[in-house]
Structure 1
Amino acid sequence: MKKMIITAAIFLSCIAYKQAEAQISLSINIGSQPEWGPVGYDHADYYYMPDIDTYYDVPAHQYVYLENNAWVRRSYLPARYRNYNLYNGYKVVINERNPWERNNVYRTKYSNYRGRTGQVIIRDSRDAKYRNHWVGTKEHIIHRKAIKNDRKEIKHDIKRLKHDRKHGH
């Protein structure tokens, strides 16, 4: 009887171990998400912005967009998007590796989101999980550019930052 109980205990332990191994691990990156990111996501790898057909790599804090028929990563948007408002434009969360490799799928799937506004963003959220969110994304980008001595881009961003603050963005 003792051997049967020990055998059953070992068997049940093995089953419990296999079930624990199969559990899905979730990571949270709320603090990495920019203040203009959409609310409701504890984790986001990328944002796709249908208005400008561009991705934002949340963990790396970089934009991924087409430039001369090649996907490039930059800490800033190109001059052609200088009038794009990150706070008002619609963002789609994509948790897939290198989503731009399937850009035709995303462009087609989210084409009806172009021009859509009204998405609640982290900066405007009253949810307690966003309270400690760092509210300095634009300043952070400007600081990174300053390190690179990219004066032209810095002047453009400072001008844009002043404009956004003046108009409550």
Structure 2
Amino acid sequence: MKTIKLILAGIVLFLGSNSQAQVSVNVNIGTPPAWGPVGYSNVEFYYIPDIECYYDIRFSQFIYFNNGRWIRSKHLPNPYRNYDLYHGHKVVLTDYHGRTPYVYFKNHKAKYYKGYKGKPQKSIEKRQDYYNGNKNNKFENKHNHGNNGLGNGNKKH
């Protein structure tokens, strides 16, 4: 009888430790993009004032307003497909955790207007080709597969 109780207690402890490991795996958020600002952790969204859209780090998606509704997409909307994310200002939303940052869009739009610069930002990964003045090189050809939001250095507003 004591042996059965010990076996059951061992099973309960084993299952309990497995469920805890699963929870910690699900808590991790996505990896920030190379064009994201340096120095932030545990952030879920950026707001990009120049193009009035959000970027969801967890799901690697842009969120923008189109035809009366908020759209999630891996790519920037067509009018901004050439927007330079490396040099455009990103507002790091450190105070919002959820799935719908656009519920605060009116506040974000007023506080972070088009052309808003804030403090100078550095990207996580430098684009050496851009800094060397060579915008049409293998970086663009390798990483710019259509409308992926990396742009070619030309801003459209």
Shorter-chain TM-score tier: 0.5 to 0.7
Give the alignment's TM-score, normalised by structure 2: 0.59
Higher helix proportion (structure 1 or 2): 1
Kindly indicate whether the alpha-carbon contact (under 8 Å) linking 1:28 and 1:42 is maintained by their aligned counterparts in 2: no
Q: Deviations over 1:54-106 (max 9, x none)?
A: 00000100000011011000000111002311000000111332110110011
Counterpart of 2:103 in 1: which secondary structure?
A: helix
**AA paired with 2:36?**
G
- Find out whether 1:59 has 2:61 as its counterpart: no
TM-score by length of structure 1 reads 0.55
Match of 2:125, SS state, is helix
Q: 1:96 to 1:109 in 2, by over 3 A?
A: farther
Cα distance in 2 for residues equivalent to 1:33 and 1:68: 28
Query: Cα–Cα, structure 1 residues 28 and 43, in superposed 2: closer, same or farther, change >3 Å?
Result: farther
Q: Note if contact 1:75-1:141 (Cα within 8 Å) is conserved in structure 2.
A: no
Letter in 1 for 2:39: G
Q: Percent identity?
A: 36
2:121 alignment counterpart: 119
* 2:101 corresponds to 1:102: no
Gaps of at least 5 residues in structure 1 are 1-26, 125-135, 143-153, 165-169
Q: Distance in 1 between matches of 2:142 and 2:116?
A: 26
Q: What code does the residue aligned with 1:41 have?
A: Y
Cα distance in 2 for residues equivalent to 1:101 and 1:139: 36
In the superposition, relative to structure 1, how do residues 139 and 74 fare at CA in structure 2: closer, same or farther (>3 Å)?
farther
1:13-92 pair list within 5 angstroms: 29=29, 32-92=31-91
Distance 1:140 1:64 in 2: 21
Per-residue deviation, residues 108-130 of structure 1 (Å, max 9, x unmatched): 1112x725384111013xxxxxx
Q: How many residue pairs align between the two structures? A: 111
The residue that corresponds to 2:10 in the other structure is: none
